[in-house]
Amino acid sequence: MTDGVPAEDPSRAGAPGPAHDDEVAAWVRGLGLEGLVDIHVHFLPERVLRKVWEYFDHAESHYGIRWPVYYRWPEPDRIARLRSLGVHTFAPLVYPHRPGMARWLNGWARDFADRVPGAVPTATLYPEPSAASDVAEALEGGARCFKAHVQVGAYDPRAPELDPAWGLIAEAGVPVVVHCGHGPLRGEYTGLDVFERVLERHPGLVTVLAHAGMPEYDEAFALVERYPGVYLDTTMVGVPFTEELMPAPRDWPARLAGIADRVVLGTDFPNIPYPYATQLRAIAGWAAADDRLGEPFLRAVLHDTPAKLLDL
């Protein structure tokens, strides 16, 4: 047990990738990388983060499964853990659930990036009259990644208030990490078919489908094929915890081989119910499972492609 979380299955010993967090940095260096670039990490104002963690405390009633937050630590300790893992750049994503919150979160995220080396400035949006001006202000302030959480925000991404905001983000070429799949819970406006209406209006929007769109994996691959600016992030995909809930397709590595340059590292740190190394081990397993992937795929996913999206 670690921090009240069961240890990883010992039967996975010898699997590709790092077995524990203390092996991650050396494993990354062994790939010839200067470090990891994680496009899906969460840092939030303290009172907001406490509410998020309280929600996960009751995960059994929400999802039917325990979800103990593995890195339920003070902010300095969480930042230190990312550095010890060799994460040299990360996107600290924020997201609102009510009007008037996006602009405040954007200011907080900008201040966080100013004081934390390795954190890129991020921003978010919400369907309200100020959406376009909020996005414009964030872009002028240097935002290099946006987050849109359709499920938590419980909003329609096709809302007319958001249309000019999507246009501004598309024109700037800044990526937006969008949680629009039905996992872990279906929402009124979740579904990749819903978000495709946004892409139809803004086909140049650089979109990172959070959690690879789970559980709508087939639809996610279809969007990657139809829109050159659509990417998948690895967040929680293929790890034992998620495989019990929303397993990836059995031919996942073979399918990734066809879009190897459209996959980026994401983890959901710190809100995951297992060690960071677990996600890297899943990605390493995909790379080892198909001869078309291997170490070039790992270097692309873990560093090169997210670095390109974040304009490093």
pLDDT in tens, 63-122: 889 999 999 999 999 999 999 999 999 999 999 999 999 999 999 999 999 999 999 999
Q: Max alpha carbon distance in the chain (Å)?
A: 54
Number of domains observed in the structure of the chain: 1
Whichever domain contains 143, its CATH number is 3.20.20.140
User: Tens digits of per-residue pLDDT, 242-268?
Assistant: 999 999 999 999 999 999 999 999 999
For residue 1, being part of any structural domain is answered with: no
Residues 6+ apart with CB under 8 A from 45: 105, 108
Q: Is residue 3 part of a domain?
A: no
**63 within domain boundaries:** yes
With respect to residue 5, please indicate whether it lies within any of the assigned structural domains.
no
- Nearest Cα to 172, choosing from 138, 201, 148, 197? 138
**∠ Cα 216 220 224 (to 5°):** 175
Domain for residue 2, yes or no? no
**Closest Cα to residue 146, out of 77, 202, 221?**
202
Please state, as a whole number, how many other Cβ atoms lie within 10 Å of the Cβ of residue 211.
26
pTM: 0.94
33 vs 295: CA distance, rounded Å: 11
Strand order in the sheet with 176-179: 122-124, 145-149, 176-179, 207-209, 230-233, 263-264
Domain containing 91 equals: 10-309
- In this structure, is residue 54 part of a structural domain? yes
Residue 132 lies in a domain: yes
Q: Which two tokens stand for residue 230?
A: 């659509």
Q: Is the pLDDT of residue 13 over 60?
A: no
Q: What is the per-residue pLDDT across 174-226, written as a single tens digit (0 to 9) for each?
A: 999 999 999 998 999 999 999 999 999 999 999 999 999 999 999 999 999 99
Distance CA 278, CA 102 (A): 32
Alpha-carbon distance 280 to 28, whole Å? 10
Q: Give domain status of residue 285, yes or no.
A: yes
